[in-house]
Structure 1
Amino acid sequence: MAGHSAALISTEELARRMDAPGLRLFDCTTYLRPRPEGGYNVESGRANYDQGHIPGAAFLDIAGEISEPDSKLRFTMPSLGALTTAFAAKGIGHGTFVVLYSHASPNWATRVWWMLRAIGFDDAAILDGGLDKWKAEGRPLSTAVTRYPAATLTLRGRPEIFVDKEAIKAAIGKTDTLTLNALSHDQHKGTGGVVYGRAGRIAGSSCVPAASLFGPDKTLKPIAELRAAFEGVGAAPDKRVLVYCGGGIAATLDAFVLTALLGHKNVSVYDNSMQEWSNDASLPMETG
C-alpha cells in the first residue's frame, strides 16, 4: 500500500463501501498480446470479466468505447467532448464516486483515471492491487453483467494534461522540463523488449518503468520508495514532467503516482507515445 491518498482505495475499504448509492465500479482490463513480428495485439478484457469480476462492476472497454475510432494509432484520446459523452453514457456523472480496477497491471485503471482527469472529473480512485489482490484475498466474484444508468456530466477540460509530439520535441534540452519514459530499461536503452518502430528512447529522456512501481501483489510500493524512484531521475516537484511509453497507457501509472501520491502539479502524458515518435524518422532518438 503506497500511503493514504483519496485517489487510491484499498480492497478492504472498497468491500466496506460496496453498497454506497453513488459508487460506480469499473473493470478496465485490456491485454496486450505480443506479436512474433513485433508490436502487440490489443485484446479486450471482456472475456475475463464475464468469467468473474468484483460484484457490481461494469466493464469499460478502453479501445472500443473511449478511444478515438478514426485514429491510425492505438488508444488515441478522443475529443474531450466526445469523451465526456462516453463516460456519461457509462453512468459516470455528478454525485458519483468512481472506482477503477484492472487485472494483471494497474496501467489500464490509471489510463481511465487520467482520462477522467482530462475532462475535469476528480471523484475517482484506483483500487490498489486491482482484481489480483481482490481474488488473492478470497473476496467474492460475480458473473452478472452490470450496466449503470446514464448520468449527467459537464466538461471542465484540462487539455494540458495530454501533450503531442510537438510539445515533446520543444521540451528536448529544456532544464525546467523532464521527459520520462515509463517503458522498461531494456526498451529505454534499445537493447530488448517490444519495439514500436525504431528502438530506443526519445532524445534526452530519463526512465522510471511503470512496472517497477508496484509489487507482485499489484499494489503500489511504499510512498518513500516511489518518491525515491522519481527523485533519482530528477523529477523535482517544481519541474514540468512529460511522461511517455508505447501507446500512452503505462505512462499514466507514472503520471498517477506523481500527481495523486507525490503531489506534483505539472505532469502531462504524451498520448501517442512511441508508436508515433519511433515511426517518424524526423524525430530524434537515442540508444544505449
Structure 2
Amino acid sequence: MTNQIAHPEWLVERDWLAAHLDDPRLRIFDCTTHLRPDPATVYRVEAGRAGYQEEHIPGAGFIDIQADLSDNESPLRFTQPSAAAFAAAAGELGIGDGNRVILYSQTSVQWATRVWWQLRSFGFDNAAVLNGGLTKWRAEKRPLESGARRYPTAAFTARPRPNLMATAEMVRAAVADDAHTVINALSLDQHHGTGGTVYGRPGRISGSTCVPTASLLDPDTGAFIDMAEIRARLTAGGAAADAPVIAYCGGGIAASATAFLLTLNGFENVALYDNSLSEWAKDPSLPMEIGVPA
C-alpha cells in the first residue's frame, strides 16, 4: 500500500515494525482512549491503559491523550496544549528530537492519528502510524507482552505550526470562502442531523461536506482501505491538492484520521479543527444546518 502514497514514511506496515523492534531510536506508543456514553456529558473519557497493560506490542509505551497531551484547564476535552506544555509532556514520554515514533491503537486508528497530528503540528515529522494497529498485529499472531514500559526522558523541541490546528474563526472564514473545503469526518446520520451522537446542536457546520472516517477503514481489520479509493472519496468530498481543506468531527479525534490521510496522499494545505463540534455546536452564533444537502 505504501508505494501508492505521497509520503510512505508516515504509514508503516506490521512487517516493517516487526523487523525494527530492536532499534534503540524507536519509540512505540499505544494511544488508545475509550469514549464511554454518558447522558450528562455526551461521553466519558477513559484511557485504554488497562488493555495496554494486558497486552501490547513489545517495548511499547502508553500515551493517555487527555492526561498527557491535552490542555486540562480547557472546558473542552482533548484541547491542544501550549507548545511548552506539549514539549514537556513529549519529553517525559521519552520522545526526543532524534527518535522515530510509531503510533497505534487497540481500537480505532483515530487515536494514533490524533497524536501523529499533534506531533506534526509542533514540528516533529519523524512519526508514523501503524496500519491496522493492534487488531492486525494480533491477528497475524505477532509477539505481545504485558505490563508497562516507560522510555527514558528526552528533550523535545517544539516548532509550532499553528496553521495545522484550525480555530472556530478560521473555520467561519473557510465556510464563507468557496476556495476552501470543510470536511466532516462523522457519520452521514450525524451530518444530516438524523441520528448518532449530538454535541450541542444536531447536524453539520454549514457548507461542509462529509467523508466519514469509518468509510475509509476496513471494518474487520481496522486497516485503511485501498489508498486509491480513499483518494477518490476525499476528492469526491471536495478536497483538491491545490486548495485549503479543514477536517472536523466531534472533538478533533476522528477528523485527525481524515487530516492524516489527506496529508499522507499529498494534499499540502490541510488543517484539523481542534475542538470541532464540541465547540462549534454550543455557540448559537456559528452556523449549522441539517438535512440531506441539495
- TM bucket (normalised to shorter chain) is over 0.9
Question: Aligned runs of 1:19-34 on 2, under 5 Å?
Answer: 19-34=22-37
Gaps of 5+ in 2: none
Contact 1:38 1:194 (8 Å CA) reproduced: no
Contact kept, 8 Å, 1:38 with 1:195, in 2: the verdict is no
**Correspondence for 1:9:** 12
| Residue number in structure 1 paired with 2:195 | 192
Distance (Å, rounded) in 2 between the aligned partners of 1:191 and 1:65: 35
Following superposition, the deviation at residue 35 of structure 1 comes to 2.5
Report what 2:131 is aligned to.
128
Tell me whether 1:242 sits opposite 2:246 in the alignment.
yes
Q: What is the deviation of 1:81?
A: 1.9
Q: Retained in 1: the 8 A contact 2:54–2:147?
A: no
CA distance in 1, matches of 2:205, 2:233: 20
Number of residues paired by the alignment? 287
1:225 is aligned to 229
Counterpart amino acid of residue 175 in structure 2: I
Tell me what 1:57 maps to: 60
Name the % identity: 52
Distance 1:254 1:198 in 2: 23
Tell me the amino acid that sits aligned with residue 245 of structure 1. Answer: C
Letter in 1 for 2:214: A
1:280 aligned onto 2:258? no
The residue correspondences of 1:80-229 to structure 2 (distance < 5 A) are 80-215=83-218, 216-229=220-233
d(CA) in 1 for partners of 2:239, 2:95: 33
Normalising by the residue count of structure 1, what TM-score does the alignment of the two structures yield? 0.97
What amino acid is aligned across from residue 243 of structure 2 in structure 1? Answer: K
Deviation at 1:38, TM superposition (A): 6.8
Unaligned runs of 5+ in 1: none
Encode CA deviations 1:135-185: one digit per residue, 9 max, x unaligned. 111111111311001111212111110011111111123111001101111
Measured in 2, the distance between the counterparts of 1:55 and 1:30 equals: 19
Tell me, yes or no, if structure 1 residue 270 matches structure 2 residue 270.
no
- 1:159, 1:186 → 2: CA distance? 31
Within 2, Cα distance between the matches of 1:181 and 1:246? 9
CA distance in 1, matches of 2:86, 2:268: 23
Q: How far apart are the structure 2 equivalents of 1:233 and 1:208?
A: 6
1:251 aligned partner: 255
The CA distance in 2 between the partners of 1:126 and 1:286, in whole Å, is 34
Q: Give the 3-state SS of the residue equivalent to 1:6 in structure 2.
A: helix
TM-score by length of 2: 0.95
Per the alignment, do residues 38 and 89 of structure 1 end up closer, same or farther by CA in structure 2, a change over 3 Å counting? Answer: closer
Superposed CA RMSD in Å reads: 1.2
